[in-house]
Structure 1
Amino acid sequence: MASSHQIYKLITIAILFLSFTLTSLAENTELASATQCSSGPGASSCNNNKESKKLKFIAIASILAASMIGVSLPLFTRNIPALGPDRDLFVLVKALASGVILATGYMHVLPDSFFDLNSPCLPTNPWRKFPFTAFIAMISALFTLMVDSYAMSWQKKRLLKPQENVVGETLENGSKEMEKENGSIVSDEAKSQLIRYQVIAQVLELGIVVHSVVIGLAMGASDNKCTIRSLIAALCFHQLFEGMGLGGCILQAQYGGKMRWTMVFFFSITTPLGIVLGMLLQTVYSPTSPTALIVVGVLNACSAGLLNYMALVDLLGADFLGPKLQGNMKLQSMAYVAVFLGAGGMSLMAKWA
């Protein structure tokens, strides 16, 4: 699918851009050292390169496993009737995971961006004279809406156009169905919904991948064993449930095997890849250098706007305002409980990560 390839080109470009920007610091190490800010009191007691390296390898393995389990679980259970996309249990699990994604944007990514772009290591003018994080997050949310809208329009135009092997039949309710040569009948409405699910899955993964690389990079570049130790458990929880949310979207998108497992691979590998990248760049990458703070802060703000939009509009809004939950008040109430549990649990993780 052409749009899928374009999405992954964007992901690759974003990762390469981040890598190039950070490696370029090697050419100006003296400047980075001169502008580096102190880590604060008490940080030296936790700084241990040997111990932190061991913890990083543990983090790579555990986060990779948690990511793979989380995103693959909905795909492996698709043949279990009780866990099908049309079942109540699937709706509740998806609501829980959507709450996790929402809290990730508001409680983890957005505050990180505020911290980076308001750092005392950056010049007061303009960084503390204007709320760049909120502005960039707003633009990111609007840009996500544009991508969402244009992708839907393009996909509908491409997939719903008349074809020679499609026979249109007008039903009593005025809707039109298309019958292909193999005899399967798919309504325009169902096909539009399928396109919608595919766009949601791709855009959501883009936001998650950007954030995952950034947080992995920060962990890989850190020598603070205390921070890394607490991050391992928090990130495993985060990747597990965020992966379940993404996996549910991939399942609903009904991708073929190749596309499905490509998305699983990208989600699973990005945080460990970020950790490895941070370890490789540790000698030249200073988390408190102006360049790093600006790049990471801007990427976090973009990711926050995207995740918040996707969680509220494409995941929670679409489900809670859809016919299934609107027609079942009991299920709707249970879904709200699941959302608050997911968001609350992920918010609690902000204490450690």
Structure 2
Amino acid sequence: MSSKDDADDGSVNCGSGGGSNEFYGLRIASIFIILVTSLFGALLPIVLRSQKGGRIRRHLFDFAKYFGSGVIIATAFIHLLAPAIDELGSPCLKGEWQTYPWALALCMLSIFSIFFTELILFRWGTSILRRANTSYDHHGHDLGAHSAHGPEGTLGHTSAEVRGGVGEDSEYGGASKHPLAALDGSALAQITGIFVLEFGILLHSLLIGLTLAVDENFKVLFVVLVFHQTFEGLGLGVRLAMAKLPDGYDALRYAGALLFGFTTPLGIGIGLGVRHTYNPGSTTATIVSGVMDSLSAGILIYTGLVELLAHEFLFDDAMKHTSNRRLIFACGCMVLGAGVMALLGRWA
């Protein structure tokens, strides 16, 4: 039975089928429109970081940072975990798929996998620096010095104090001047954390690109994804900009932003190429999408709750001593980001 027949009689299409061919020209244009908006969101924090001085720049960066944290958390629950539960509970799937909460199990597996990866890197890095008579934590904070996790360092410390821990303009994630920065496990953990976050976001971006290329509700989904990719890019871009990388590795920030910017357009292009045979509601596509969304949700949940909420609000020395006004501003930006992204989940 064709997709159209299924849609007419209200049944579920679990075959290979094909996607919608409506608005083909606009679907092609969406490749370039989403490319621009994705790159804008991902590159903006990195460009702000590279500029010199200014209160406006600092406030913009702080807004983007906390807004992006909220976006990442909402993306994990609303745009990844919820769809994964629906996909892996689809009536197209039979047998064991219907008797166990696979989406939640895979999400939990992803969380523990990220935790054990960071734990191993932390112990390895600690062992290396112990032999060099140096101590650090795996998020880039030298013990005995103030937090250098990112722009939050400016909330309770002067620029001179910040520069004492890391490089010039370090309140925006400047490169570490530590003599072992290019070798220690802290840098390795930072780079690994970026790739883990990027991997989770890229899986999601590729899937939504494929869906946009063939979805029947193209116009609504297209408008929503323009904002979705901009905000998600902002969340990723802030992480890239804040990362305390060793000297000579700044190109990784731009590479990560570019990779994100091109992933959804790539998914759209692939979807258009296979639109006559690809049915996002088919059994195979549902399983693949559900598994990838579950794993991505675990990555973003871990990143959002541990790396962002815990380390930026609970364990950061600067945030502990900052004014109530700045704390409210940070929490408000985060809630706003989560709220906007959760609202977008009403349509996509």
Q: What is residue 38 of structure 1 aligned with on the other side?
A: 6
Deviations along 1:245-282, whole A, 9 cap, x unmatched? 21122122255343222212211111111111111222
| Alpha-carbon separation, structure 2, partners of 1:37 and 1:80 | 60
TM-score (norm 2): 0.75
Written as runs of structure 1 = structure 2, the 5 A alignment for 1:64-103 is 64-78=35-49, 79-82=51-54, 87=58, 89-103=60-74
**Which SS does the other structure have where 1:186 is aligned?**
coil
**CA distance 1:352–1:292, shift in 2 (3 Å):** same
| Number of residue equivalences | 300
Q: Which moved more, 1:289-298 or 1:143-152?
A: 143-152
1:143 to 91, 107, 113: 113
Determine if contact 1:197/1:249 at 8 Å carries over to the other structure. Answer: no
Gaps of 5+ in 2: 12-17, 135-141, 146-163, 166-175
Unpaired segments ≥5 residues, structure 1: 1-32, 179-183
Structure 1 residues 100 and 174, CA gap change in structure 2 (3 angstroms): closer
**Counterpart in the other structure of 1:199:** 192
Equivalent residue in structure 1 for 2:32, among 56, 61, 67 = 61
**CA shift at 1:301, angstroms?**
0.6
- In the alignment, the residues of structure 1 paired with residue 126 and residue 24 of structure 2 have an alpha-carbon distance, to the nearest angstrom, of 49
CA drift of 1:350 comes to 1.0
SS in 1 for 2:54: helix
- How far apart, in 2, do the equivalents of 1:82 and 1:40 lie? 59
Cα displacement string for residues 200-244 of structure 1 (whole angstroms, at most 9, x for unaligned residues): 32211111011111111122233x1xx221122222212212212
Of 282, 285, 310, 2:303 maps to 310
Give the match for residue 211 of structure 1: 204
2:331 maps to a residue whose letter is Y
State the Cα distance separating 1:137 from its structure 2 match: 0.7
The counterpart of 1:186, out of the listed 178, 185, 190, is: 178
TM-score by length of 1: 0.74
Residue among 311, 322, 326 paired with 1:331: 326
Matched to 1:81, the amino acid is: G
Q: Find the aligned partners of 2:24 and 2:228 in 1 and give their Cα distance.
A: 22
- Once residues 48 and 209 of structure 1 are traced to their aligned partners in structure 2, the CA distance between those partners, rounded to angstroms, is 22
Q: Say if 2:19 and 2:277, in contact at 8 Å, map to a contact too.
A: no
Q: Root-mean-square deviation (CA), in Å? A: 3.5
Residues 15-30 of structure 1 correspond to what in structure 2 (within 5 A)? none
Shift of residue 71, structure 1, vs aligned partner:
0.9
Cα contact 1:98–1:242 (8 A) shared by 2:
no
Structure with greater proportional helix content: 1
Deviation at 1:175, TM superposition (A): 5.8
Return the letter of the residue paired with 2:274. Answer: L
Distance of 2:5 and 2:127 partners within structure 1: 53
Provide the secondary structure at the position in 2 that maps to 1:267: helix
Amino acid of the structure 2 residue aligned with 1:275: I
Partner of 2:342: 347
Equivalent-residue separation in structure 2 for 1:155 and 1:58 (angstroms): 47
TM-fit CA distance, 1:118 = 1.0
* Letter matched to residue 134 of structure 1: L
Q: Could you give the per-residue CA deviations for residues 21-57 of structure 1, whole angstroms, max 9, x where no partner exists?
A: xxxxxxxxxxxx69999346689xxx99553322322
Identity of aligned residues (%): 32
